Structures are given as structure tokens and as C-alpha cells.
Amino acid sequence: MTTDPSARSPDAPLRSFGRIKSRPIKPRQAALFDTLMPSVKLPDPAAGPIDVAALMPGAKEVWLEIGFGGGEHLAVQAARHPDALMIGCEPFINGVASALRHIEEGGLKNIRLHADDARAVVQALPDGSLDRIMILFPDPWHKARHNKRRLIQPAFAAQLARKLKPGGRLRFVTDWKDYAGWALERFLATPGLVWMADETADWKVAPEDHVVTRYEEKRLGDTDPLFLEFERV
């Protein structure tokens, strides 16, 4: 598991996330990296294309959550949809530790984790393999000089669209007005993606299946959460 940014390839894209570790991980959660992580770890995307069907034979859907934070949303969705394979990516090691705890406590068998940059996973996934993509509260990089580090860039948006099946959905949620506008502009310019909003409530009111996380409750942004939902056509 790569946790040291200095170990990344010089050709790797700019980091789209901040810190990768904060407080010491609790002993119980640290132990899960040895006991549970090997069985739920996603294959290394650097090794080649990911065989989605082999990860969970018979899965009816495949979901990808980019930046799952503490794993609350990922775990709840996995419990609600036990027949769907849930792929979660998160470089923040404390968040991965928390997700492992949720997986163990919930007895969840349909989650696979990647403890690093999601962009490598997206590149390794087959085109047209995903039913849902969830990007909830990514690092906003709200200083103009740092905007180039934002996850949502034109090339990545186009790549996400290609990974979705026809009719697949992409949900982007942020509590920063500027990032919402930035992301909307780039997704609208992405061939194959259609914004599903018809009225203001469609992006200001949380979808019925939304799961409120501890991060969202902190209200760290400059607006209430904004929900942008797109469909692959």
C-alpha cells in the first residue's frame, strides 16, 4: 500500500487530496489492516486492467465511490445493496481504517478498497463497467492558484463518463459554491453526460438515498451541500 507521496512517480498527476494521515490509528483498526484488508483490497491498478466480474461474481451492479472519507456512506450503501459490488477509493489512511471497522462490524462482503489515488483505479476499470459513481465532498482547493489540483478536470470527467454504462449515474456533492460551479461547467462540457436537474430543488435538496456523514455535519464549506446528478446517455 503506497502511503508516502514522495514515492509516487514523477509522471503521476498532481495530488487532488490533502493529508493522508492525522492522528494515530487505534490498535483495533490498525490490526484490521493485517486481518481484513488483504481480503477486501482491490487489485493493484498499476498491474493492469481490473477484472470487475472476478471481484464479486454475480454482482448485479458495480458502484465506485471516490474519496469515501470515513466510510460511513460506503458502508450504508453496501448494506442497502448487498447484490452490488462497492469499490471505494480513499488515500487518507485514517479513513481507510474507519472503513475497515465499518466493514467488519456490518459483516459486509461486497466492498473492495483502494487506499490510494482513485484516478489509477478509474484508468484500470473497463469502459462501460460502472452503474454508479459517487464523489462526495472532494477537497475543494478553493484558492485560485490551487484549482489545478481539483479532482474534476476535463480529461478526468471524460474518463468517468466512459466508465459508466449507458444509463449509469454520476453524483457529485460539494459544500463549496465555487467548486459546484467549476464541476458543473466541466461535466456539462463532457460528451455523454446529461445533468438530471429540472428545478432548483434538484441540486439543493439531498436525494432520497443520500447518507449524511460526519464530515457533512461539520459544515466546513460556504454553502449547504449541493447535489449534482448526471446520467450517461
Which residue numbers are catalytic?
139
- 10-15 contacts, C-beta under 8 A, 24 or more apart: 12/117, 13/117, 13/119, 14/148, 14/149, 15/117, 15/149
Calpha distance 30→127 (Å, rounded): 35
50-60 burial: b if 16+ Cβ within 10 Å, else e: bebeebbeebe
Calpha distance 70→54 (Å, rounded): 26
Calpha distance 87→66 (Å, rounded): 9
Q: Is 177 helix (H, G, I), strand (E, B) or coil?
A: helix
Q: Is 167 helix (H, G, I), strand (E, B) or coil?
A: strand
- Give 233's contacts (C-beta < 8 A, 6+ positions apart): 166, 167, 192, 193, 194
